[in-house]
Structure 1
Amino acid sequence: MTSGTTVSLDSFNARRTLDVEGAKYVYYSLPEAEKNGLTGISNLPFSMKVLLENLLRHEDGRSVTKADIVAMSEWLQNTGKAEKEIGFRPARVLMQDFTGVPAVVDLAAMRDGMLTLGGDANKINPLVPVDLVIDHSVIVDAFGSPDALGKNVELEYSRNGERYVFLKWGQGAFANFRVVPPGTGICHQVNLEYLAQTVWTATDASGETLAYPDTLVGTDSHTTMVNGLAVLDWGVGGIEAEAAMLGQPQSMLLPEVIGFRLTGALQEGVTATDLVLTVTQMLRVKGVVNKFIEFFGSGLDNLTLADRATIANMAPEYGATCGFFPIDDETLNYLNISGREPARVALVEAYAKAQGLFRNRGASDPVFTDTLALDLATVGPSMAGPKRPEGRIALADVKTGFLAALDGEYRKPNEETKRAPVDGRDFAIGHGDVVIAAITSCTNTSNPSVLIAAGLLARNAAAKGLTAKSWVKTSLAPGSQVVAAYLEKSGLQKDLDKVGFNLVGFGCTTCIGNSGPLPAEISKTINENGLVAAAVLSGNRNFEGRVSPDVQANYLASPPLVVAYALAGTVVRDFATEPLGISRDGNPVYLKDIWPSNKEVQQFIADNVTRDLFRSRYADVFRGDDNWRTIETGSGLTYGWDQASTYVQNPPYFRGITQKARPIVDIEGARILALFGDKITTDHISPAGSIKAASPAGKYLLDEGVQPEDFNQYGTRRGNHEVMMRGTFANIRIKNHMVRDAAGNVVEGGYTIHHPSRERLAIYDAAQRYADEGVPLVVFAGVEYGNGSSRDWAAKGTNLLGVKAVIAQSFERIHRSNLVGMGIVPFVFETGTSWQSLGLDGSEKITLRGLADVKPRQIVEARFERFDGTAATVPLICRIDTLDEVEYFRNGGILQYVLRNLAAA
């Protein structure tokens, strides 16, 4: 593999040669660097050692200086804290198609922009390896039948033909760019099982083979899963990923590293899902936004690699940049059983031991910024819900927790026993009934222990005559074909089929809103009777409005519990004292009666999850099925945009671009587009689910001749800015505090008040009116604005609506960076101040001056002119954090900055 790797200045004389079974590799030795002046670095956390090696290898005196490298020693001396900006260059980039399509669209548009600037369009190519896995486009339309998989695949290709043609063009047009076709699995699991190498190799500028840690950034926040394999990575927005592809360093502050000590072992009947929900809750309470988490302690000896990947996957849910596990014997075991080449496994072991990157039992602990601890033996069965991943609740308390939420959160007191008949069906449904039970990919299907447990529980349930209740939409969407293979080999798929969990597709489904429609009569009953229906899924996201527009209460659970709740048909059931159902011989069946033992699960894994299975399933991973291979696409350096396409359009970012950026102007007389509360997610800002016909995006598609049944969803239309800008702030559950009903309650949905007319309009329609009036816009929010998925359209759409600044109490890391990358200024209030404390109601005019000469984290005065003529001035902290980000902002965004630099080179 080749990359843009250059020879380091090597201030610390660290370049050495490593001999591994006769193969020669050059590398930058951390022990040698320590001998030559980097005092104490052997005490760094493993994750920080990976960052340090990256700096040593890329030291060029410009983007990486000797002072940047020395800062690592200073980090140690200051007990894991340092206000130092560094430039990190990942070894590669990973994409899924939701975020990958707009990234490739931008690359194609940049080629057009390069021609506008008179440059060479062929300069627009990835300089590091890029893999795009098509995994987010399958929807669970068909379910509960043997032909569900085939029907869903057929629908997927019919809906996404334009996108797939475009991606196949990109695969041929761009160098260093590979596409994993649909039906293979999700990007995180394919990465874990096949793409990741733990130690990467490339030919450097001197022609030698260079070995270095496998690192990456990905256009999905759950890219962090592969940190379980000791691959340092995190999710970024598409715009950051594009910059990385084009050779730009990822500008970042040296992170704090929180050590998470694990001891003991999980008890019988406790799953990795129970563990990760506990870890997520603990770290959310701790507060770890923008921080690395590194797991250490004797408990690691009792966690499989799959368990570690399960924990690493959920880093966005516990708010951290990443959750890192170091290389040890379990890492090597997994690399071997998952089919990596023996030479690669040998290199990983030799390199890690030579670098001090190998975790040895009994070794002294690294220096951490702070620590917390968990005895694995204290973890118990649990779920998370009804609307937050960190909202862990003990399994025994799920029933009472839902009933409390029914009374308080959902404002339906005294309705516990309410039920409504379903038209044409012989049953009624009520509050808390499970209408979706999904074993979905990502967090859990990478882990054979919970998949096998689900299969065994299904086998035991079927033997007693139990099956999913008639109102439950069941689905099994594995993260890779490996899962389907071992379930088939073990015979457990037949048992899952018997209770309703037929295979529906390979990809990210329910967790991102691709759950598909509920049966019409069930949807009708829920909505006409105001029922709070429930979903139980084995994913990582249960935000409001994400899983299904018909479902308000969403719970994360292990795959065997997903099966159990499908059998019970309700979350209003205490599994410790109440049965799941009645057996065919008339006896009550309790969860404990059908729950498999750990020993039984492990024996099935040993018998069925084998190296040969991994090797066969990944033997021809880029070839695809017949549907993919028969797609015809054009060729050429630039893309032939189809103006009639409703999926792929040339975005406006580079229209009329000039070599010199236009001067920055202050924000004066801006209007407030929205006043949001706390924890507004990127799902709220940029929905990924269904498109309503009455929404601005739906009206656009109708005007383009697209019928509602062919709308598909926001995620699949991310290559069309016309759809996505109309979908910005259009989530059905978003609450803009400017918009209230007659009783003073905040109205849900993407609405705002246009001032000074005081008309209530869809946010998109109001933004267009403000644009026609030449009025800039700002958005206000509370804490953790933009948490959740690393969705670049949450920033792109905000930009296209004319928003110049977002003012919040705090930001989630990725979204803050994405806003800057799109030329939008993020500001935070000083502690103790908020839009509520200022008494804003949305009618004010906002002025922000001093942007023409902005500095990182500069204090800016904001003036608020109220509707009654009074005014107030408060200080805001500009969250343009680094000098590189200042340059991005001055150029109107990171892509414009990169394009101008490449054109001038």
Structure 2
Amino acid sequence: YAFPGGLMIGADSHTPNGGGLGMLAIGVGGVDCGEVMAGLPWEVLHPKLVGVHLTGKLSGWASPKDVITYLCGLLTVKGGTNKIIEYFGPGTQSISATGKGTICNMGAELGATTSVFPFDDRMATYLRATDRADLARLAEEYADHLVPDPEVLSNPKACYDELVEIDLAELEPHVVGPHSPDRDRPISKLADDVRANGWPAHMKSALIGSCTNSSYEDMRRAAHIAMQGIKAGLRAKTPFLITPGSERIYQTIKRDGIVATFEEMGGTVLANACGPCIGQWKRSDVGKDETNTIVSSFNRNFPGRNDGSAATLSFLTSPEIVTALAFAGTLEFDPVHATMPGPDGRPFRFTPPEGEELPQDGFVKGEEGYEPPAADGASVSVVIAPDSERLQLLQPFPRWDGRDFDRLPILVKTQGKTTTDHISPAGAWLRYRGHLDRISDNMFLGAVNAFTGEAGKGVNVLTGEAGVPFTKIARDWKAKGIGWVVVGGENYGEGSSREHAAMSPRYLGCRAVLVRSFARIHETNLKKQGILPLTFADPTDYDLFGEADRVSVVGLQSLAPARPVEVRIHKPDGKTVTIQARHSLTDEQIGWFRAGSALNALA
């Protein structure tokens, strides 16, 4: 769907992959997409611009993945919030179109609105290789409009809000993790970091692929490393799992012998799906709470993200580094600078990976899995079994009753990173994504309670019972007609565009979320579902909230754009602390709040 110079929104946070073809491809919530499909306008906070000036050329072990993992370490997971990352400079031309896609894909891990590269010959070549020669010709005709203007190149500091310089010739492979994609270090420092932190060096699994790193070039370069190891008599010392990004990629790498190479080194090819990248990975090699280490070429490594276990330490790097590490089975091996013992005991050294970016014989074509839509859509009816746990007809959320929020209990005050995976875990829960009541049983399972340090459980302040799952407390309060609030920290809701992280709280009675800062997509999703998203005027106000406090949000009748909201914290001893909170609601979004949700406002 991507093409140079276009604008696209998609209901996935990694939609920015399309920036690898020079498109502004932006991840949004599903309601945003539905509204646009219905012909309604789409809006986004006007983003700032971050220019990333690339010089030099990638060579040796350095890969596109290392550009973005290095940048994640530099800018952090909230450094791109409400910003577009624009890559420019001569270095961009040394990166393939799919390599550019990898970089833009993981721009989501910066919190960026999107990322984009200027049009070049590498993009045109890719378009022609994927049966889009007409688009390539059109882009070439208007190429001057698809690259930075001359004044940008001559004086970038005047054109960008922030400017980052990266010399690709100096870049070495980077490894990020565990638990966050901005915990970065070069491969040469990994072993020392592992020992200093007491992390298990032994790898339980090595995984490559996913939407981030399963291009033909990725697979070919990883296979080049695999062939070196096989030729030296080596086999993977840890389970090696490969997730092709599409049926076309799978069939092409199978035809070209790449699948056979991976299998010969001990690898297992999985389905063309999100799989372990989104937690759909049932493991039997470790216990649920057993600390263990995995390495992948995926895009996210939050606690519990890959296998549902917060004890798993997940590291991210390029497919070729993952493949080399699979032969060693340990994070203490540096394939760039060190040797490992071969079967004969003699030292063996990998040479840098090589691989063409596109298949010489073209991509395998086919439409496996494609089902055309009905010729007459009006004749299609959807029937849901009454006892289904997979599907449920949505009912409208109740409208705002016109009153202030008065003395609401705090369901959870989250501590540390609170991603959408913490709020609404994926994995096996995804089978219920069409059934709001059933999937809401996972609400806040991964969120760490700031008062106890325990994940997923809190105190029901109405009964005094402790150690109760948050979802059970929320259901109890909902049954009694009591709304509740959430208190959180920085970059609340980062990660996936998963709407259930907003829908489940709304369904179970959440009225407002007060945090230090929001991730862009999640803040919008909260607005769409009729929850009031507020940020502290003073970030230190987070510390004022106690477990037994009640919270009032007053003056809601006069809620208006850019006008602060008064929040009162009622202490158990009768004292009241008043603070100010901000919001980013527009007039239209205030209408959603009053209607109970954006969908209600459209009805």
- TM-score with structure 1 length normalisation? 0.63
Question: Pairwise mapping of residues 368-447 of structure 1 onto structure 2 (< 5 A)?
Answer: 368-406=160-198, 431-446=200-215
Q: How does 1:750-789 map to 2 (within 5 A)?
A: 750-760=456-466, 761-789=468-496
Indicate whether 1:897 and 2:601 are aligned: yes
Asked if 1 retains the 8 angstrom alpha-carbon contact of 2:406 and 2:552, the reply is yes
Gaps in structure 2 of 5+ consecutive residues = none
In the other structure, the counterpart of 1:518 is 283
Change (3 A) 1:438 1:285: closer
- Checking the alignment, whether the CA contact within 8 Å between 1:281 and 1:318 is kept in structure 2 is no
Pairing 1:346-745 to 2, within 5 Å after superposition: 346-353=137-144, 356-358=145-147, 364=154, 367-406=159-198, 431-446=200-215, 448-469=216-237, 472-514=238-280, 516-519=281-284, 522-524=285-287, 531-550=290-309, 551-575=311-335, 579-583=339-343, 585-589=344-348, 593-598=349-354, 601-602=355-356, 605=357, 608-610=359-361, 612-613=362-363, 616-617=364-365, 619-620=366-367, 623=370, 636-653=379-396, 663-689=401-427, 713-731=428-446, 734-738=447-451, 740=452
Residue matched to 1:325: 117
What residue in structure 2 maps to residue 867 of structure 1?
Answer: 572
> For structure 1, which runs of at least 5 residues remain unmatched after alignment?
1-194, 199-212, 408-430, 690-712, 741-745, 901-905
Distance 1:285 1:313 in 2: 14
Greater relative CO (CA pairs within 8 A, separation 6+):
1
Q: Deviations along 1:515-543, whole A, 9 cap, x unmatched?
A: x2223xx324xx6xx75211111100011
Check the 8 A contact 1:440/1:511 in 2, yes or no: no
> Given that residues 247 and 368 in structure 2 are in contact (C-alpha distance below 8 angstroms), is that contact kept between their aligned partners in structure 1?
no
User: How is 1:89-108 mapped onto 2 (pairs within 5 angstroms)?
Assistant: none
Give the one of 805, 822, 832 matched to 2:529.
Answer: 822
Q: Deviations over 1:604-635 (max 9, x none)?
A: x46x345x42xx42x536636xxx99x9x998
Q: Which amino acid aligns with 1:729?
A: F
Q: Secondary structure at the match of 1:225?
A: helix
**Is the 1:496–1:502 contact (alpha carbons within 8 Å) kept by the matching residues of 2?**
yes
Shift in Å at residue 395 of structure 1? 0.9
SS at 1:872 equivalent: strand
Deviation at 1:224, TM superposition (A): 0.5
3-state DSSP class of the match of 1:449?
helix
Q: Alpha carbons of 1:668 and 1:405: their partners in 2 closer, same or farther (altered >3 Å)?
A: same
Q: What is the rounded CA distance, in whole Å, between the counterparts of 2:360 and 2:245 in structure 1?
A: 15
Question: Helix, strand or coil: the match of 1:502?
Answer: strand
Equivalent-residue separation in structure 1 for 2:518 and 2:596 (angstroms): 21
- Matched to 1:735, the amino acid is V
Deviations 1:129-148 (A, max 9, x none): xxxxxxxxxxxxxxxxxxxx
Which amino acid in 2 is paired with 1:562?
V
Contact 1:669 1:846 in 2 (8 A): yes
Q: Letter of the aligned partner of 1:885 in structure 2?
A: Q
Report the Cα offset of residue 433 of structure 1: 2.1
Cα deviations across residues 300-355 of structure 1 (Å, max 9, x unaligned)?
22222122111100111112111111223332222112221x333222333454xx
- Which amino acid counterpart does residue 209 of structure 2 have in structure 1? T
Instruction: From 105, 122, 133, give the equivalent of 1:313.
Output: 105
- Distance 1:572-1:596 versus aligned 2 partners, 3 A rule: closer
Structure 1 residue 841 displacement after superposition: 2.0
Find the counterpart in structure 1 of residue 506 from structure 2: 799
User: 2:136 matched to 1:345?
Assistant: yes
Q: What is aligned with 1:886?
A: 590
Is residue 475–residue 500 contact of structure 1 (8 Å, CA) maintained in 2?
no
Task: For residue 257 of structure 1, report the CA deviation from its aligned partner.
Answer: 1.1
**Residues 210-239 of structure 1, C-alpha deviations (whole Å, 9 max, x = no match):** xxx432111110000001111112111112
* Displacement of 1:559: 1.1
Conserved in 1, the CA contact under 8 Å of 2:178 and 2:313?
Answer: yes
Residues 416 and 448 of structure 2 are in contact (CA less than 8 Å); yes or no, is this contact kept in structure 1? no
- Aligned residues of 1:243 and 1:894 also touching (Cα < 8 A): no
Q: Which residue of 1 aligns with 2:548?
A: 843
Change (3 A) 1:621 1:231: farther
* Larger of the two Rg values belongs to structure: 1
Q: State the distance in 2 between where 1:597 and 1:667 align.
A: 60
Equivalent pair of 1:538/1:558 in contact (CA under 8 Å): yes
AA aligned to 1:463 is K
CA 1:720–1:572 in 2, change beyond 3 Å: closer, same or farther?
same
Give the one of 500, 506, 520 matched to 1:813: 520
CA-to-partner distance for each residue in 1:416-463, whole Å, 9 max, x for gaps? xxxxxxxxxxxxxxx3321121113111113x3332111011111111
Taking a change above 3 Å as real, the CA distance of residues 577 and 313 of structure 1, as seen in their structure-2 partners, is: closer
1:778: how far off?
A: 0.3
Tell me, in whole angstroms, the C-alpha distance in 1 between the residues paired with 2:298 and 2:136: 30
CA offsets per residue over residues 166-204 of structure 1, 9 Å max, x none? Answer: xxxxxxxxxxxxxxxxxxxxxxxxxxxxx3233xxxxxx
User: RMSD in angstroms over aligned alpha carbons?
Assistant: 2.6
**Structure 1 contact 328–360 (Cα < 8 Å) conserved:** no
1:38-77 equivalence runs, <5 A: none
Kept in 1, the 8 Å contact 2:78–2:110? The answer is no
Q: Distance in 2 between matches of 1:376 and 1:286?
A: 24
User: 1:272 touches 1:450 (CA, 8 Å); kept in 2?
Assistant: no
Q: 2:239, 2:267 within 8 Å by CA — same for their partners in 1?
A: no
Find the aligned partners of 1:637 and 1:479 in 2 and give their Cα distance.
31
Q: Work out whether 1:855 is the aligned partner of 2:550.
A: no
Q: Distance in 1 between matches of 2:278 and 2:400?
A: 39
Q: Displacement of 1:404 after TM fit?
A: 2.5
**Correspondence 1:63-212 to 2 at 5 A:** 195-198=1-4
- Post-superposition Cα deviations, 1:86-144, rounded to whole Å, max 9, x if no partner, equal xxxxxxxxxxxxxxxxxxxxxxxxxxxxxxxxxxxxxxxxxxxxxxxxxxxxxxxxxxx
Offset of residue 372 of structure 1: 1.8
Asked if structure 2 preserves the Cα contact closer than 8 Å seen for 1:780 and 1:806, the reply is: yes
1:495 deviates by 1.6
Going from structure 1 to structure 2, the CA distance change for 1:483 and 1:361 (only over 3 Å counts) comes to: farther
Q: 1:275 aligns with which of 67, 86, 92?
A: 67
Residues 439 and 476, structure 1, Cα contact 8 Å, conserved in 2: yes
- Cα distance change on mapping 1:561 and 1:897 into 2, 3 Å: same
Residue 824 of structure 1, CA deviation = 0.2
Task: Give 1:134's aligned residue.
Answer: none
State the shift of 1:509 in Å: 1.6
Normalised TM-score (structure 2): 0.93
Q: Secondary structure at the match of 1:253?
A: coil
Q: CA deviation at 1:594?
A: 2.6
- Work out the percentage of aligned pairs sharing the same amino acid: 29
